[in-house]
Each structure stands twice: as structure tokens, then as C-alpha cells.
Amino acid sequence: MPSSKKQQAGPKESTVDIIFFRHGDAEDVGADGTDSGRRITPRGDESNRRIAKQIRDAGHVPDRIVASPLVRAQETARAVAEVLTPGREHETDERLGGGTGVGDIQSIADERKVKTLMLVGHEPDFSSLTSRFIGGGHVVMKKSGASCIRLAAVEPGMGDLQWLINPAIIPGRSD
């Protein structure tokens, strides 16, 4: 038996895949003059949809999509849901609005009890959370970037990174 407490989950063990999806490129300032009112740019919308198509084509369709209440995350979640889960709306959770911690993710996952959960939110939270759940390292989530972590328990260090998408390497980038 390995000496590490982190063990690969076998097919009979209950796991959850958490997909962290960072919002796409957004305005510098919202029309209302606030950070929370920043909208996704056309380039950001295109990138969000392109990455969602890659996730869908790889077979990683979430059971639920939950987003930060900030406008740019809401717009990202709406676009991603149109691609991944047509006809189903995303949910909103205030805990994803900034300063999101491990306890917030644990609660969000526990409340929803699904096999695959997509969370749409912000930096630096999602890079930090990805790193914490996989047990360390330095992960950088670019705009419209996504990571998927398989967890036997929603605890720091208990996850296995399934994939990390940097939009710059996906064909069709418009810049």
C-alpha cells in the first residue's frame, strides 16, 4: 500500500470531477463603472465557446454548471451551457464571486452531489484551488482556461489533474 494518503480512485469508488472554468476576456471596466459589471468581449465569448466545444468533444459534459454572480462569469456560464448542456440553465452561487476557498468548493460540491460539476469563476482563485486540490505546484488559469480534477474526496491534495486547457493552444484562436 502506498505511503501517501492520496490514492487513485478505482472504478467502484465514488469520485467527483470538478471542472474549473475561468471567465473569458472581459471589458476593463463595466458600463456602470464597476469591476462586477464587466462584460465579456466578443473575443472572450468566441474563446469561451471554442473551449466548451473542446470539452464537449472530449466527453466531459458536466451534470451542473455553477457560476459566480459577476457579469463576466454569468455571460461565460451562459455561453458554455449553450454548448455543453443545451436547454439547461446554469446556476449562480455567491461563493464563487471572489475570494473562493477550499471550504466553499467543498460546500458547493456537497450541496449538489453530482458526478461532474463545472464551476465558472475568477483568478487568482481558480489557479490556487487547482493547485491545492492536486497537492501543490504552480498552475496558471488563462482567460477561458479550464482544468478538471478528479477527487475521491473534496479535500486539498486528494485530486488528480485530468486535464488543463490553455486557450492559446486550441485551434481557431482569433488573436
SS3 31: coil
* Cα 143 to Cα 167: distance, rounded to the nearest angstrom: 8
| Domains (range + CATH), the chain | 16-169 (3.40.50.1240)
State pLDDT tens for residues 4-32: 444 444 444 689 999 999 999 999 999 99
* Cα 91 to Cα 128: distance, rounded to the nearest angstrom: 23
Closest by CA to 97, choosing from 117, 64, 131, 74, is 74
**pLDDT band with cut points at 50, 70 and 90 for residue 173:** low
> What would the mean pLDDT of 82-111 be, rounded to a whole number?
97
Q: In percent, how much of the chain has pLDDT > 90?
A: 87
pTM for the structure as a whole: 0.91
Angle (nearest 5°) at CA 26 between 168 and 90: 90
Q: Which region holds residue 59: left if phi is over 0, alpha if psi is between -120 and 50, else beta?
A: left
Cell of 20: 474549473
SS3 162: strand
